[in-house]
């Protein structure tokens, strides 16, 4: 990942402050026939007085009564848009190490249940893992490291042994809690002997090693399959337009196109391996990158979709790609909070507006944050960001602090299940400072996530076919409503 200074003031406080009691809202209903139906409500507010707290239930009445509130939102649950695949974060090497080596078995079990259990926890349903080292690993490595001057075109020395120390055991524990979890894998660098500079940091993939690097993906997928771990999706290269001091590799759109079209796509097909193939995996500011590759008629069939980060540009870039290629998926795969910005309320609102509500409304099928867990020193780190924050912080004694990212994820992952569809819904007026997104789960339950960016209570009315309800959302807060 790469931190840019424009995020200053947007992300959140590192530690959760003490909470105080808050008087529940009085949500009066429009006149009509109360049929006994109730909507459940869960709230997190900027003051931290409510942290994923269940609020008073809301009565649903028969009749839409559009005049009940000036802020009316109509939801058409019959018009399904993109299918959702999940919400979560990256289980980096650093995160896996902390979970596996810095917590007791009981502490780890409790935290993993909280994070991944779909009944008693927040039900995280999607993980990103790194293929080899990233800037959040214990050291630099790939799965085929050799002394300088040596090559291994047949990949005879390929090994995931380092992953078996921490990452694989933790993934297996998670799979016991969430067997259907989707896992996306991303390389930060090809082995150094395949690269122009002979190093893991920076450089580019030499064209003569395109075939070997394509087989490297096959070896990886096979090795994880033998561990009982299914990789649902791969992206070709993390942040291909950013070469850094940590494992990284430049790959412009033309190079990535050739690699997918002539090597990776065909070798996956030949080996009857069918992971989702995601291209780009970088910031919103360059939608031309995936558009260029998807425009190649030969490459297009090999590609499932495009992945984006949020360290530059606007979330609307995802819709720009969708409008040109509506049959291809869109995925949001990385953003981090950090010590450069510490206001809980501001960061709750920014994350919900841009990453969770924003990406869904711009056709993303998932939303992932960066490190799932880091320690009190924002590590372990590997020459990358020196002040990034994890979704949770694991202290030296194994205790856990839930950061604001935890609550942002939870407002989606706990209620919007894999296989749900985003559905058509109105937008609130910009003057209301309300933002929302609605979903229909496979079990028929309906979910509305609403963000109030204003400093005042905002009353709104939800119209769902022949039923409706009112709700008053607190200032600087997010509410997830389920019925």
Q: State the catalytic residues.
A: 239, 334
The C-alpha angle with vertex 131 and arms to 127 and 137, in degrees rounded to 5, equals 85
Q: How far is CA 97 from CA 104, 136, 163, 165, 185, in A?
A: 12, 10, 10, 8, 17
Tell me if 124 sits within 8 A of 180, measured CB to CB. Answer: no
Q: What are phi and psi of 331, to 5 degrees?
A: -135, 140
- Specify the 3-state DSSP secondary structure of 235: strand
For strands 182-187 and 233-235, give the pairing.
parallel
Tell me if 91 sits within 8 A of 129, measured CB to CB. Answer: yes
Distance in angstroms (rounded) separating the CA atoms of residues 168 and 160: 9
Tell me if 415 sits within 8 A of 447, measured CB to CB. Answer: yes
Tell me if 163 sits within 8 A of 169, measured CB to CB. Answer: no
Distance in angstroms (rounded) separating the CA atoms of residues 349 and 11: 9
The C-alpha angle with vertex 248 and arms to 243 and 252, in degrees rounded to 5, equals 60
Distance in angstroms (rounded) separating the CA atoms of residues 464 and 446: 10
Q: How far is CA 320 from CA 230, 237, 282, 284, in A?
A: 31, 21, 15, 10
């Amino acid at each position: 990942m790469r931190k840019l200074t424009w995020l200053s003031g947007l992300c959140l406080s590192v530690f959760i402050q003490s909470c105080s009691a808050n008087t529940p809202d009085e949500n009066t209903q429009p006149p009509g026939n109360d049929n006994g139906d109730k909507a459940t409500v869960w709230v997190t507010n900027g003051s931290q007085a409510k942290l994923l707290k269940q609020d008073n239930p809301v009565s649903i009445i028969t009749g839409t009564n559009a005049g009940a509130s000036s802020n009316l939102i109509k939801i058409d649950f019959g018009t399904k848009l993109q299918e959702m695949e999940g919400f979560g974060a990256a289980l980096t090497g650093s995160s896996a190490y902390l979970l596996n080596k810095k917590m007791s078995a009981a502490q780890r079990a409790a935290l993993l249940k909280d994070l991944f259990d779909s009944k008693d926890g927040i039900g995280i349903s999607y993980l990103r893992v790194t293929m080899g080292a990233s800037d959040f690993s214990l050291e630099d490595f790939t799965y085929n490291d050799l002394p300088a001057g040596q090559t291994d075109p047949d990949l005879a020395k390929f090994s995931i042994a380092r992953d078996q120390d921490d990452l694989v055991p933790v993934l297996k524990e998670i799979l016991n809690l969430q067997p259907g979890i989707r896992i996306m894998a991303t390389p930060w660098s090809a082995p150094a002997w395949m690269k122009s500079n002979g190093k893991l940091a920076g450089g580019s993939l030499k064209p003569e090693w395109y075939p070997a690097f394509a087989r490297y993906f096959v070896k990886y997928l096979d090795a994880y399959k033998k561990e009982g771990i299914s990789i649902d999706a791969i992206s070709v290269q993390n942040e291909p337009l950013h070469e850094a001091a940590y494992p990284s590799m430049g790959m412009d759109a033309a190079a990535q196109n050739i690699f997918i079209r002539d090597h990776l796509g065909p070798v996956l097909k030949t080996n009857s391996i069918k992971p989702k193939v995601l291209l780009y995996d970088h910031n919103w500011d360059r939608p031309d990158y995936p558009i260029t590759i998807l425009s190649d008629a030969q490459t297009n069939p090999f590609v499932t979709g495009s992945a984006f980060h949020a360290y530059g540009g606007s979330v609307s870039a995802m819709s720009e790609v969708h409008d040109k290629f509506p049959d291809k998926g869109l995925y949001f795969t990385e953003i981090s909070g950090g010590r450069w910005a510490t206001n809980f309320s501001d960061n709750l609102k920014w994350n919900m507006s841009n990453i969770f509500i924003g990406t869904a409304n711009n056709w993303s099928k998932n939303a992932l944050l960066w490190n799932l867990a880091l320690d009190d020193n924002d590590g372990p780190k590997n020459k990358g960001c020196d002040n990034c924050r994890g979704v949770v912080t694991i202290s030296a004694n194994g205790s856990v602090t839930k950061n604001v990212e935890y609550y942002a994820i939870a407002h989606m992952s706990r209620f919007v299940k894999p296989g749900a569809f985003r559905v058509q819904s109105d937008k609130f007026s910009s003057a209301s400072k309300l933002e929302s997104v609605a979903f229909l789960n496979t079990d028929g339950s309906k979910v509305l996530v609403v963000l109030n960016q204003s400093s005042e209570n905002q009353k709104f009315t939800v119209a769902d076919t022949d039923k409706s309800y009112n709700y008053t959302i607190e200032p600087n807060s997010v509410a997830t409503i389920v019925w």
